[in-house]
């Protein structure tokens, strides 16, 4: 029965890392996956994470199962980070929060919820978006469509197209939005545009679903980066949110995140949580303990919380610095082209506008590994490599 199984192509993002590892070129550079690297291009474990781990180790807690909905201290910390601890929705107990397997697992539980309770509705995702969104909704049997987002002419937001498509979607559709630092473009709506999107969702009875994978990474501030989902909740919308601690706490492999739904009443929140638990039970039963303890220790301790914010601002700051250096290098090597997009985009990525053939040139000739859509992860760049990357980009754009 297994003879008929066809070979699946490598994942378009994680496959880049596999190709990078296999390369023997001394100059090779991995700008594929969105994982933070130090100036030495090494993986980074936050000092505050090490500190929390020490505390956890010394507390000698047991290895019992967590409840299906996860660790209470973690769920509280996560909702506090998202809405701000004194938000009325928290006081009114109308927030359902399920600890899940990082952003991806949370999205998948959310997709399971849509397939069961919002049957027949379509999820609208931005064009382009993080490639896994299509898999996650598709594998749950949820229909998805694109809305326009990126304008190649301006290397900016196609706000008009976005609003037209969200407007044309049937009433009550699910609109997937990136909470901040849109992946792959690095282009977010401005506050006025967010407000208009929220008003349109109200008018159309759409359900906004925020994918929050970079809170703290766009501006370096947790509060500023949660402004969009908070605005939608404050306007009275019921909102679905997936949250991830992969990037902001550097807990990639620990799979720490949550599926959160802010709904109309305490009663609805209780019923919604009961169903999220039912979905998780069949999918993986209980979430992992270790990473959730780390996150909870940090967020619920004033000193460690402060240290985290400082380290996060440091990571965001390093990325912004190399952004500036890359723009300057590109401007000096190829003054005829407008490179302002490099610094107007935010978060981990820059969407360069390189075509698939130009990306091939980047990889084959220059050994710079990146996704086919022209996205580069600036978290994988340092000052020493800026000139080399700029040479490769200029060569690729000119050919
Ligand atoms: N959403 C977006 C937009 C992402 O970029 C990512 C990570 N690349 C995720 C979700 C999920 O990541 P994780 O499962 O590691 O939390």
Q: Which domains does the chain have, with CATH numbers?
A: 14-44+306-398 (3.90.1150.10), 65-300 (3.40.640.10)
Q: What is the pLDDT of residues 296-306, one digit of tens each?
A: 999 999 999 99
194 given a catalytic annotation: no
Residue with the smallest CA separation from ligand 1 atom 7 is: 213
361 vs 7: CA distance, rounded Å: 26
What confidence score (pLDDT) does residue 75 get? 98
Q: Best substitution site from 15, 31, 111, 132 to test ligand 1's pocket, by max atoms within 8 Å of Cβ?
A: 132
Q: Tell how far the Cα of 223 is from the centroid of ligand 1, in angstroms.
A: 19
Report CA(378)–ligand 1 centroid distance (Å).
16
Residue 2 Cα to ligand 1 midpoint, Å, equals 32
pLDDT for res 234: 98
Concatenated DSSP letters of 127-190: ES--THHHHHHHHTT--EEEEE-EETTTTEE-HHHHHHHHHHSPTT-EEEEESSS-TTT-----
Atom of ligand 1 at shortest distance to CA of 130? 3
7 in Cβ contact with 23 (< 8 Å): no
Q: Which token pair is 266?
A: 């305490």
- The per-residue pLDDT for 10 is 84
Residue nearest to atom 11 of ligand 1 (CA): 103
Indicate the average pLDDT of the chain: 96
Is the pLDDT score of 155 beyond 90?
Answer: no
Q: Is the pLDDT of residue 183 over 90?
A: yes
Ligand 1 lining (C-beta closer than 6 Å): 34, 102-104, 130, 178, 183, 211, 213, 244, 246, 252, 257
What percent of the chain is predicted at pLDDT more than 90? 94
Q: Is the pLDDT of residue 73 over 90?
A: yes
Ligand 1, atom 9, lies closest to the CA of 103
| Active-site pick, 158, 188, 211, 225 | 211
Given a cut of 90, whether residue 69 has pLDDT beyond it is: yes
**pLDDT surpassing 90 at residue 220:** no
Kindly give the number of the ligand 1 atom that is closest to the alpha carbon of 244: 16
> With 0-12 CB in 10 A as exposed, 13-18 as middle and 19+ as buried, what is 118?
middle
pLDDT at 12: 82
Nearest CA residue ID for atom 4, ligand 1: 213
Distance 103 CA to ligand 1 centre (A): 5
Q: DSSP class of residue 43?
A: B
Which atom of ligand 1 sits closest to the CA of residue 183? 3
Residue 385 known to be catalytic: no
Summarize the confidence of residues 27-35 as an average pLDDT: 91
Protein residue whose Cα sits closest to atom 1 of ligand 1: 213
Task: Out of 5-14, 94-103, 347-356, pick the least confident.
Answer: 5-14
For the cut 90, the answer to whether the pLDDT of residue 200 exceeds it is: yes
Residue 14: the pLDDT is 82
Residue-wise pLDDT tens digits, 340-389: 999 999 999 999 999 999 999 999 999 999 999 999 999 999 999 999 99
Mutate to test the pocket of ligand 1, among 15, 100, 103 (most ligand atoms within 8 A of CB): 103
- Residue 17 pLDDT greater than 90, yes or no: no
CA-to-CA distance for 121 and 145, rounded, in angstroms?
A: 11
The mean per-residue pLDDT over the stretch 158-164 comes to: 98
Residue 168, pLDDT > 90, answer yes
Query: Is the confidence at residue 146, as pLDDT, over 90?
Result: yes
ipTM at complex level:
0.99
CA distance linking residue 205 with residue 76, whole number of Å = 28
> Would residue 338 show up in a list of annotated catalytic residues for this protein?
no
Write down the H helix ranges in 23-101: 47-59, 72-83, 88-91
Atom of ligand 1 minimally distant from the CA of 13: 8
């Amino acid at each position: 029965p297994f003879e008929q199984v066809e070979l699946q192509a490598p994942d378009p993002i994680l496959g880049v890392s596999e190709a990078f590892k296999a390369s023997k070129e001394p100059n090779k550079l991995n700008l594929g996956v969105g994982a933070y690297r130090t100036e030495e291009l090494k993986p980074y474990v936050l000092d505050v994470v090490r500190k929390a781990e020490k505390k956890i180790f010394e507390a000698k807690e047991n290895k019992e199962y967590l409840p299906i909905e996860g660790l209470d201290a973690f769920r509280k910390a996560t909702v506090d980070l998202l809405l701000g601890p004194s938000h009325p929705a928290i006081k009114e107990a109308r927030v359902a929060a399920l600890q899940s397997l990082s952003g991806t697992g949370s999205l998948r539980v959310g997709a399971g919820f849509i397939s069961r309770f919002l049957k027949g509705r379509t999820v609208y995702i931005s064009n382009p978006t993080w490639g896994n969104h299509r898999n996650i909704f598709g594998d749950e049997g949820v229909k998805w469509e694109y809305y326009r987002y990126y304008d190649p002419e301006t290397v900016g937001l196609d706000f008009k197209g976005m609003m037209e498509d969200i407007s044309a979607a049937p009433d009550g559709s699910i609109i997937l939005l990136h909470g901040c630092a849109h992946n792959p473009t690095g282009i977010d709506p401005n506050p006025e545009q967010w407000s208009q999107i929220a008003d349109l969702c109200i008018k159309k009875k759409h359900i906004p679903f925020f994918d929050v994978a970079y809170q703290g990474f766009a501006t370096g501030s947790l509060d500023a980066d949660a402004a969009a989902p908070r605005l939608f909740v404050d306007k009275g919308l019921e909102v679905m949110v997936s949250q991830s601690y992969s990037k902001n706490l550097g807990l990639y492999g620990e799979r720490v995140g949550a599926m959160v739904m802010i709904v109309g009443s305490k009663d609805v929140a209780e019923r919604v949580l009961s169903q999220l638990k039912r979905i998780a039970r069949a999918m993986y039963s209980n979430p992992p303990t270790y990473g959730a303890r780390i996150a909870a220790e940090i967020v619920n301790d004033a000193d460690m919380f402060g240290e985290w914010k400082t380290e996060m601002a440091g990571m965001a700051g390093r990325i912004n610095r190399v952004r500036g250096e890359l723009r300057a290098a590109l401007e000096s090597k190829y003054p005829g082209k407008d490179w302002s997009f490099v610094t107007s985009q935010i978060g981990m990525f820059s969407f360069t506008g390189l075509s698939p053939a130009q990306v091939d040139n980047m990889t084959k000739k220059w050994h710079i590994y990146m996704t086919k859509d022209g996205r580069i992860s600036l978290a994988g760049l340092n000052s020493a490599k800026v000139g080399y990357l700029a040479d490769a980009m200029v060569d690729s754009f000119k050919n």
